[in-house]
Amino acid sequence: MTDAKTRIDETVKANDVVLFMKGTKDMPQCGFSSRVAGVLNYIGIEYTDVNVLADEDIRSGIKDYSDWPTIPQLYIKGEFVGGCDIITEMALSGELDGVFDENAITYDKAAFEKIREANA
């Protein structure tokens, strides 16, 4: 498991935004992963996707790494932000905009507004 933890740690620290998910950003393989990737894709975030289905060590290791039981998991600037429900709530409340702003992550602010309008 140490190897998986090292690989996870290196990935999280080497990339500004990382989504550990089932499938890929272009082809999510579960509804929860699809929801988070859909938000990130829609608002134009550049992020690294890690398909946990392709590596069982990463799939189990990410849960230990974050002490969070579910996938997907979003990391921004090396910090665990949350899973699907938390990211959805943060996107709808505007809190996720703040996290991106604080970390100088470029995104489409108008697209975030459209998401909120559609879910109002």
* Paired tokens of 77: 């600037």
Residue where the block lists tokens 């550049």: 46
Domains, the chain, with CATH or none: 2-118 (3.40.30.10)
What is the C-alpha separation between 89 and 87, in angstroms, rounded? 5
pLDDT value at residue 2: 63
Question: Which residues neighbour 19 within 8 Å (Cβ) at sequence distance 6 or greater?
Answer: 25, 33, 36, 37, 40, 47, 48, 49, 50, 72, 73, 74, 75
Phi, psi of 65 (to 5 degrees): -60, -45
Q: pLDDT tens string for the chain (120 positions)?
A: 469 999 999 999 999 999 999 999 999 999 999 999 999 999 999 999 999 999 999 999 999 999 999 999 999 999 999 999 999 999 999 999 999 999 999 999 999 999 999 998
Q: Is 84 annotated as a binding residue?
A: no
Distance in angstroms between the alpha carbons of the first and the last residue of the chain: 43
pLDDT value at residue 120: 85
pLDDT value at residue 41: 97
Can you give the length of the chain in residues? Answer: 120
pLDDT value at residue 53: 97
Instruction: Examine residue 72 and say whether the peptide bond preceding it is cis (omega within 30 degrees of 0).
Output: yes
Which region holds residue 77: left if phi is over 0, alpha if psi is between -120 and 50, else beta?
left
Contact 68, 41 (CB under 8 A): no
Which helix or strand (DSSP H or E) is residue 69 part of?
Answer: none
